[in-house]
Structure 1
């Protein structure tokens, strides 16, 4: 029986104590965070009736994730993840304690609310990639996919409970008690992390430093065409869909005449709809492609914005927000799942951090933009404009197909160890790699086409410069060259080549003639004595 078939199903990871404890603590922590967000969004409507000011709270929470997601992804790979998560939880708890004290003393202002929301966004930015990265440490290999699905389900359970509970607490006892409940949730999460018996990180001679890992992640992102498609589709969708999130507090209060409790119920409906969407997702995937799912999410979200713009009865608003939750989770899981499928393990954290950067950048810019439009033309007209824009964008982007994500990204380990006359310091560089091919004239065009595809793989895996040259005395002798910043980075490059890359290299090698394989040479920068 294969590993995949030995899994006990969707809920199998919960049979493993460490995952079960941390998953439960995370659900409670996220529930507290949603309660805090409801209190902050509603308090802003008390402090200012300006759509721009209300939208600023949404922007303050997402802007740090846009700015810090990539550095957070790097830190995830080079720090002790348990200690890092504990430090982030302490930061978030201090934010909620400050909000609790200021609201209780009547000293909370627009600027302090936005500032503390921004600090909370910093904590969320640092925490997001790390929570995703620890999943393989908590469960068996065959249960990783189920664990990821359970994490998504947990977030939406919290989304369905937290806003409603936060709204009710806010209406009954005030903001101080609501923020206090959030503080209590962080205590639970910190206790679970302290209890977690995590093994120490093994020493790795090729361990990346922060700036090297940062550059490697950006190089991969810049050279990965499949990831570019995912990022484009995400940016367009979330930029338009952010309109409903940015203006929902004002929709609840001004268009629908609700109070804080009703606003919480609306957000709870979104969470409940997301849970329902997650449960029916397997059936939908059997009938629709990823592109079809994303188009459906765009059409439903646009329709919800159109209905809300008509100021419907409260019951109708709750019903349509159930559909919004289903559409939202469909878009999130489709885009996130596709991003994961096109990223190899060695750069997955950083690649997902780039995805989070684009997602939150689109949400931030969209929130600010729709807030400004709301100031100019009103909430109802803004929702209609956003709905029409999302409808048009969804139909156009449907032509830009998402990658299938079926490439074999497991490391091939087929590159032989480079020959060296003596040990080379890992930080020595840059390194020039030359690969000499013999290509017959009639195959030259096909070879150049194949090696052009190979160039993107070289850059993804670590090269910062690449090119091909020919011998002036023998045009059939072609040399491929690429530059890597250090010897250690080239050794890492050996470990990064996937089976899909090996197939690509095999297509290039098919045009090489001769009894021997292409000659590979490594050239190091010479450190001259007395050179400046």
Structure 2
């Protein structure tokens, strides 16, 4: 009972609850639109590839916009990003409805307008993911992420069936109109949020984008999450992209029947929400990722071989539970790894990996289904999921629950005789250490963590050197593009980073001596003596 309560605990927080409810309403509309768009594509004479490309049109925008959206989510008021993105989505969905009512819709315009709705969703996602730790305590982030995933999958239980019913009785244009109205729910919820003013970093857009990418490249835990996410998303996309083809060609179902099958996936996801906290505490996030991948592979195998929809439906319920277990665990790991200053950008990289994998997978599985029997891509995707689950045994994912990501307050300001202009650079920083002979092996090992910390915070080049004339003298050097970037580096270091530097100082025989050099000829002002 305690695990079940903790699974729904974020709903106790009113602002998060209102925004989550708005997101749920919007997700229902989005899944209604997906059903309507895929079925309309079939009615327009589209091939299996064109039907699959509807899913690609939903996922591909994240590849295009995720990183810029992540920068916006860190540099701009996230509440305003939510409002702007939903306004664009409303306009695109309304245009789709109007063109369908007018009978002027074509396969190309259907894909383009669907792509535009996807662009707005890509703009929203990093900002929405990044505000979780503003709205609920950090210990409830995993539950909040699971409920966010559940809102998507609960929409699969309601949206497809409702969308299929509306398509069958009134036509796809009404589905698109209902989706346009659904975006108003998020607009209302975001407009009522009185967000506290947040400190701004003052970073330039280009520098902020590069800083986010450097952090992702220099964080071993985040890299491990991304390496697991990409193949999982690529293979799991076979469920969403090929299910309408399976429903129509193999099972002979109409739009309502297809909606019921997709709704079974959503029901499985909702059923999995209560179990995830208990499972996470017993097998850990990596166990959920491995188990979810294996169960999803089994579901694809059943979907490929089942002779009827009645036999496939239970497997789709399992697929929904497996999907939410794996994706919510990967997402929660990414959430807890990222400090506040780079959270939206880091989550944008995660979303780019997840949605990019789905977009690429959907295109490949659709092309294979056109060229061969639809069962072949389903079986290949299942094999890929098994391989990824086995890889998880060798390279497990891990969150950051053990990391204190609050900004470190004990970094002293550098002592300078001149004050460089913010844009002056490049800046070379050197740190001299005195290390006794018997501690040098441990020191060099400890400096590997320092290197990763420096690079995550913005250092572009880094090196550690030993003085041949004085074997106890080590020199650490790293390069930053500007003095402003150096100041940003000092602000970005966290309490968890501080432990790495404290370990290094334990191994030295004197206080490290830090020096700062800026490229000659750069503008500066004298510091009063």
TM-score (norm. length: structure 2): 0.92
2:279 is aligned to: 284
1:464 is aligned to: 460
2:394 alignment partner, SS class: coil
1:288 alignment partner, SS class: helix
- Out of 18, 21, 26, the residue aligned to residue 21 of structure 1 is 18
1:351 is aligned to: 346
Is it true that 1:66 corresponds to 2:60 in the alignment?
no
Long gaps (5+) in structure 2? 524-529
1:447 is aligned to: 443
1:289 alignment partner, SS class: helix
1:523 alignment partner, SS class: strand
* Distance (Å, rounded) in 1 between the aligned partners of 2:11 and 2:324: 22
Long gaps (5+) in structure 1? none
Question: 1:73–1:353: 8 Å Cα contact kept in structure 2?
Answer: yes
Q: Aligned pair in 2 of structure 1 residues 111, 201: CA closer, same or farther (>3 Å)?
A: same
2:397 alignment partner, SS class: coil
* Distance (Å, rounded) in 2 between the aligned partners of 1:212 and 1:150: 33
Question: 2:422–2:484: 8 Å Cα contact kept in structure 1?
Answer: yes
1:399 is aligned to: 394
1:260-275 to structure 2, matched below 5 A, reads 260-275=255-270
Is it true that 1:519 corresponds to 2:513 in the alignment?
yes
Q: Aligned pair in 2 of structure 1 residues 230, 15: CA closer, same or farther (>3 Å)?
A: closer
Is it true that 1:163 corresponds to 2:157 in the alignment?
no
Q: Aligned pair in 2 of structure 1 residues 275, 110: CA closer, same or farther (>3 Å)?
A: same
Residue 340 of structure 1: CA displacement?
Answer: 1.9
1:508 is aligned to: 504
Q: How many corresponding residue pairs?
A: 519
2:238 is aligned to: 243
2:170 is aligned to: 173
Provide the aligned C-alpha RMSD in A.
2.3
Q: Aligned pair in 2 of structure 1 residues 340, 133: CA closer, same or farther (>3 Å)?
A: closer
Question: 1:256–1:311: 8 Å Cα contact kept in structure 2?
Answer: no
1:43 is aligned to: 40
* Distance (Å, rounded) in 2 between the aligned partners of 1:240 and 1:21: 34
TM-score (norm. length: structure 1): 0.91
Which of 227-236 and 374-383 deviates more? 374-383
1:266-311, CA deviations, whole angstroms, 9 ceiling, x for partnerless residues?
A: 1111111001111111232243233322222122111111111124
Q: Aligned pair in 2 of structure 1 residues 27, 117: CA closer, same or farther (>3 Å)?
A: same
Residue 457 of structure 1: CA displacement?
Answer: 1.2
- Out of 484, 490, 493, the residue aligned to residue 488 of structure 1 is 484
1:33 is aligned to: 30
1:47-70, CA deviations, whole angstroms, 9 ceiling, x for partnerless residues?
A: 235221111111121111022211
Residue 93 of structure 1: CA displacement?
Answer: 1.2
* Distance (Å, rounded) in 2 between the aligned partners of 1:384 and 1:462: 44
1:119-155, CA deviations, whole angstroms, 9 ceiling, x for partnerless residues?
A: 1221111010111223344456776665444433333
2:433 is aligned to: 437
Is it true that 1:418 corresponds to 2:414 in the alignment?
yes
Q: Aligned pair in 2 of structure 1 residues 142, 81: CA closer, same or farther (>3 Å)?
A: same
Which of 136-145 and 16-25 deviates more? 136-145
Residue 420 of structure 1: CA displacement?
Answer: 2.5
